Amino acid sequence: MGNLTGACMFGQSGGPTSVINSSAAGVIQEALKQECITAVYGAAHGIKGVLDENFYDMSKEDTYELDLLKTTPSSELGSVRYKLKSADEDETDYKRLLEVFEKYNIRYFFYNGGNDSMDTCNKVSKYMQKVGYECRVMGVPKTIDNDLWGTDHCPGYGSAAKYIATSTMEVYKDARVYDTGMITVLEIMGRNAGWLTAAAALASYKGCGPDLIYLPELPFSMEKFLDETNKIYKEQGKVIIAVSEGCKDEQGRYIAEMGANLSTDSFGHAQLGGAASILANIAKEKIASKVRGIEFSLLQRCAAHVASQTDVNEAYLAGQMAVKYAVEGKTDYMVAFERAEGTEYKCNIKLINLTDVANTEKKIPREWINKEGNGLTEDFIKYALPLIQGESCAPIEDGLPRFSKLKKVLAKK
Amino acid sequence: MGNLTGACMFGQSGGPTSVINSSAAGVIQEALKQECITAVYGAAHGIKGVLDENFYDMSKEDTYELDLLKTTPSSELGSVRYKLKSADEDETDYKRLLEVFEKYNIRYFFYNGGNDSMDTCNKVSKYMQKVGYECRVMGVPKTIDNDLWGTDHCPGYGSAAKYIATSTMEVYKDARVYDTGMITVLEIMGRNAGWLTAAAALASYKGCGPDLIYLPELPFSMEKFLDETNKIYKEQGKVIIAVSEGCKDEQGRYIAEMGANLSTDSFGHAQLGGAASILANIAKEKIASKVRGIEFSLLQRCAAHVASQTDVNEAYLAGQMAVKYAVEGKTDYMVAFERAEGTEYKCNIKLINLTDVANTEKKIPREWINKEGNGLTEDFIKYALPLIQGESCAPIEDGLPRFSKLKKVLAKK
């Protein structure tokens, strides 16, 4: 395919991460360099900003502030969770998108997100093809969940994993100071795939991690949890358990739902709360006097102060390469990572069809989970360790991070 | 007083912090240098280790590992929460301490902790004076709560404050990505004093902090909380609230207790959980559809990866100076910090009587809290900002912190 001249639209979608803005920097800075790209727009709140004609002219931003995006957590342009209906079912949104694309001569569309966002990207791509509107559409991967199909890993995961492993090591130290028994339950994100929870195994690899790790890939059994915890408690007096918020039993019930049946407080009320507090409370009732449930909550996806430099660089590269490939004529792909053979970590960029990646979830292979189903194997460590290498954080002013401050000048209508 | 030759005993007590081990390094490394100190013992689990004759010979440790204590969170020798009875009431423990002190010729006693620990230190000091056993006793301050009387601030606070301010800035960013309403409640430690919760104001000072801050220094009113939150929600759609776990209403009830009366879930059960989840649930019921409660939990006291270098240095200095002063002949004091006049931050070491500091709590002065009782004044920012300056973290190996590994060779009995 030849040269295509026109404007470019970039959007951020789905849950934010520590490094999604680094991909934004990659797309925006590369697009601003390209002669065939006549304008660079950043959509406010992803696809919604396109539909609402609410987007920023990125050429108005200072270079320094764009650079700072690399170390600014969260989705600086605003994100959205908006699922496009299938065009066969309802064409309204698509017609509107086409109208906006035509009005601004948008010929490049870059969409940065996880599974749902790649679905959006795919639908936009297919619709523009169908109606014969020439436009190069590229997905830029992002998700702390690391569950996108077809790529070795996803930008966002390495930094979340680094935060989880670091914090778990620190909690491990903290939970060991008294010579009394203590059970600590760490609740980690990941509704269907256990990649984030598995990252706690990196702390164990360094000698300061959980004794037990429960992933949503395997059915969760309260009895097994209590048996295994009790055994370690009897032996060592201290137990640390990492559990995924997405763990479900054979019947498909989440831990919070199981808790409601298994345990009641002293007033006879069912226990409410997240998996960590439920499990901590049940362990308190059945095993130990001292327990603590800790939820890493949002912190695990926005802790840019302890981001992985590898992740920040790769997130940037993914954005940059999406633009380069599109300018070269590629369309309808997501940028992905392919790990090179050899002992030293190296990832190459590859392209995968949007159709293949949209809505397909990648889970942890069974052989990377130990036989007992309560820990990870060395293969997982080998996989994950390179992803958390290098320390990234924002420039510090007054002892605190200096985040990017964009002007967000709205594009002229 | 003249030269006193003998062994030294050091103990860690109370809740751990990111920098209590830096004070340990200060005490141990300085004591190992002193000719008049014939042996340096580290008590396992504070005063309990002394009573049980369970302590380590610190001269057996590698210098490198002792250096690493400066960046290793938690109480590496083990801590304890053990309250000595008054000697008038029960002399048993004191007699045993004297026996151990005599057996090992312990002539220097350094105890590192907060209010309760200074009480222990004071009691040991006074008993040894009473029975005429010559021993120099010095308290080394430590507490993330920053509530020790007589010192400008406490080692441990600056690092916890830096973690809280940094994480709050990141959560602020995260909570703003969608164009839908959102109320986020951050729960911060501090049972009686609001210093830690107030640290969230540093994030507001940098433009990314809470709209409302509720401290335990003032009575908490659920009605006021709802009114103030609702007002900001109506104006801006996003509200971030920092609340101390220690907030109580006029009747002295904690938020969790108030929650039980004020709100029930859809099953008619009372809400259980911490202040953040209670307030988030009540806000959900009364104001907004989207809420999130986040508890910083243990993370705020062990996040050495984002410690304040000022804090690490001062913690070390406090330990070091305790030894120097004791060798010079001082006893029955706690090492404290006095801020020098002038625009540039500088703290000098001073000594305060153990009797004065034991069990006295220092709270935030009313004039540092705004008139509305929901935020901090500039005076607080001026006070706290210098304490979080400089970035400290452990050396990194494999992308993760390398903590100190002590041999912990038990002293010969």
Rounded distance, CA A408 to CA A59, Å? 10
- Which residues of chain A make contact with B391, given a CB cutoff of 8 A? 396, 399
- Closest chain B C-alpha to A132 CA, distance in angstroms: 32
| Closest partner CB to A173 (pick from B173, B302, B396) | B302
CATH number at residue A253: 3.40.50.460
Asked if residue A409 is part of any domain, the answer here is no
Does position B240 have pLDDT exceeding 70, yes or no? Answer: yes
- Give catalytic residues of B, as residue numbers: 145
Of the residues B302, B319, B345, which one is the last residue of a structural domain?
Answer: B302
pLDDT tens digit sequence for A131-162: 999 999 999 999 999 999 999 999 999 999 99
Residue B289: count other Cβ atoms within 10 Å of its Cβ.
9
Report CB contact under 8 Å: A401, B81.
no
Rounded distance, CA B268 to CA B270, Å? 7
- Which residues of chain A make contact with B72, given a CB cutoff of 8 A? 173
Residue B223: count other Cβ atoms within 10 Å of its Cβ.
9
Same domain, A208 and A271: yes
- Cβ-contact A233, A287 below 8 angstroms: yes
User: Using N-to-C axis directions, what is the helix angle for B222-236 and B275-286, rounded to 10°?
Assistant: 60
Nearest CA in chain B to A298: B171
Same domain, B25 and B91: yes
Report CB contact under 8 Å: B48, A179.
yes
Q: Determine which of A284, A297, A308, A402 to mutate to test the interface with B (most B C-beta atoms within 10 Å).
A: A297
Residue keyed to tokens 């190296």: A346
Report CB contact under 8 Å: B403, A165.
no
Same domain, B176 and B259: yes
Question: Rounded to the nearest 5 degrees, what angle is found at the Cα of A319, between the Cα atoms of A60 and B181?
Answer: 70
Quote the mean pLDDT of chain B.
94
Same domain, B163 and B42: no
The per-residue pLDDT for A257 is 80
Asked if residue A207 is part of any domain, the answer here is yes
The per-residue pLDDT for A273 is 59
DSSP state of B6: E
- Closest chain A C-alpha to B317 CA, distance in angstroms: 20
- DSSP structure string for B285-314: HHT-S-EEEEE-TTHHHH-GGGEEHHHHHH
Report CB contact under 8 Å: A170, B299.
yes
Same domain, A89 and A185: no
Same domain, A125 and A171: no
Report CB contact under 8 Å: A271, B272.
yes
Give B2's pLDDT tier (boundaries 50, 70, 90): low
- Cβ-contact A179, A409 below 8 angstroms: no
Quote the mean pLDDT of chain A.
94
Asked if residue B193 is part of any domain, the answer here is yes
Does position A243 have pLDDT exceeding 50, yes or no? Answer: yes
Same domain, B164 and B292: yes
| Closest partner CB to A273 (pick from B162, B167, B272) | B272
Contacts of A412 (CB under 8 A, 6+ apart): A57
Same domain, B164 and B70: no
Asked if residue B91 is part of any domain, the answer here is yes
The per-residue pLDDT for B265 is 42
The per-residue pLDDT for B413 is 84
More confident residue, B374 or B1: B374
Nearest CA in chain A to B169: A401
Does position A171 have pLDDT exceeding 80, yes or no? Answer: yes
CATH number at residue A312: 3.40.50.450
Report CB contact under 8 Å: B178, A79.
yes
Same domain, A201 and A139: no
Same domain, A222 and A328: no
Asked if residue A368 is part of any domain, the answer here is no
Give B1's pLDDT tier (boundaries 50, 70, 90): low
Asked if residue A365 is part of any domain, the answer here is no
The per-residue pLDDT for A2 is 65
The catalytic residue among A145, A211, A311, A332 is A145
Of the residues A302, A320, A345, which one is the last residue of a structural domain?
Answer: A302
For CA atoms A92, A95, A101, A104, give the dihedral sign: negative
- Closest chain B C-alpha to A280 CA, distance in angstroms: 12
Amino acid letter, A187: E
The per-residue pLDDT for A212 is 98
- Cβ-contact B323, B31 below 8 angstroms: yes
pLDDT tens digit sequence for B155-202: 999 999 999 999 999 999 999 999 999 999 999 999 899 999 999 999
Asked if residue B344 is part of any domain, the answer here is yes
Which region, left, alpha or beta, applies to residue A156 given φ > 0 means left and ψ of -120 to 50 means alpha?
Answer: left
Asked if residue B1 is part of any domain, the answer here is no
Same domain, B258 and B342: no
Q: What is the pTM of this model?
A: 0.96
The β-bridge partners of A295 are A187
Does position A269 have pLDDT exceeding 70, yes or no? Answer: no
Of the residues A302, A317, A342, which one is the last residue of a structural domain?
Answer: A302
Task: State how many domains chain A has.
Answer: 2
Give B256's pLDDT tier (boundaries 50, 70, 90): confident
Report CB contact under 8 Å: A202, B400.
yes
Residue-range definition of the domain harbouring residue A208? 157-302
pLDDT tens digit sequence for B206-215: 999 999 999 9
- Determine the 3-state secondary structure of B361 from DSSP: strand
Same domain, A127 and A193: no
The β-bridge partners of A333 are A138, A353
